[in-house]
């Protein structure tokens, strides 16, 4: 179970684990085999004015995912996933699983799709989400899919034509 403490001191979920502090945000974490890492630093562009703190789409997405996935999947805030022009961005990762980096997500519009995709990912065993089972937001927003570390140990020789 995880929790989010808002800058004003509000707490969305019960305190159960170590805290992670990012700027004025404090998140309380738990452990599970699968995790969603959500960038809480991306600022959604707003035409006609400078970005403000409430233009951050990541923290509300963390809070919403923590509320929906408590006890199932860890939802972990991170500061940057290096795809800053595609907020919201998140990573689906798990031990011995493929890792997905996904962007262009909307914390309101795509919440249910993210929850379903995360549950499918957790149930998959290897992390591979078949194309037909990926929600539309994941199909459009996928940036990278990275093999599990165990793949390198199982295939120590680089494929022909690739640097070793």
Beta carbon of residue 103, minimum distance to ligand FES (angstroms, whole number)? 8
| Vertex 139: Cα angle to 150 and 63 (nearest 5) | 80
Distance spanning both ends of the chain, measured CA to CA: 41
From the list 41, 120, 124, 126, which residue makes contact with ligand FES (rule: CB under 6 A)? 41
Q: Max Cα separation, the chain?
A: 56
User: DSSP code of 83?
Assistant: -
From the list 39, 63, 73, 111, which residue makes contact with ligand FES (rule: CB under 6 A)? 39
CB-nearer residue toward ligand FES: 39 or 73: 39
Q: Is 66 in the site for ligand FES (CB under 6 A)?
A: no
Alpha-carbon span 101 to 61, nearest angstrom: 16
Q: Is 3 in the site for ligand FES (CB under 6 A)?
A: no
From the list 84, 144, 150, 158, which residue makes contact with ligand FES (rule: CB under 6 A)? 84
Alpha-carbon span 162 to 164, nearest angstrom: 6
Q: Is 19 in the site for ligand FES (CB under 6 A)?
A: no
Asked whether 67 and 111 are in contact (CB, 8 A), the reply is no
From the list 81, 91, 102, 117, which residue makes contact with ligand FES (rule: CB under 6 A)? 81
Q: Which residues bind ligand FES (CB under 6 A)?
A: 39, 41-42, 80-84, 89
């Amino acid at each position: 179970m995880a929790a989010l403490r808002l800058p004003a001191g509000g707490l969305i979920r019960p305190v159960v684990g170590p805290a992670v502090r990012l700027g004025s945000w404090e998140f309380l974490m738990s452990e599970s085999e699968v995790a969603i890492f959500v960038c809480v630093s991306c600022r959604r562009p707003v035409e006609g004015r400078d970005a403000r703190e409430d233009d951050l789409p990541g923290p509300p997405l963390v809070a919403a995912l923590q509320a929906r996935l408590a006890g199932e999947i860890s939802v972990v805030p991170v500061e940057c996933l290096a795809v800053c022009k595609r907020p919201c961005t998140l990573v689906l990762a798990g031990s011995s699983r493929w890792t997905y980096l996904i962007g262009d997500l909307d914390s309101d519009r795509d919440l249910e799709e993210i929850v379903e995709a995360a549950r499918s990912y957790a149930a998959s065993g290897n992390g591979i989400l078949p194309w037909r089972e990926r929600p539309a937001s994941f199909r459009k927003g996928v940036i990278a899919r990275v093999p599990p570390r165990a793949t390198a140990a199982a295939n120590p020789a680089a494929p022909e034509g690739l640097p070793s």
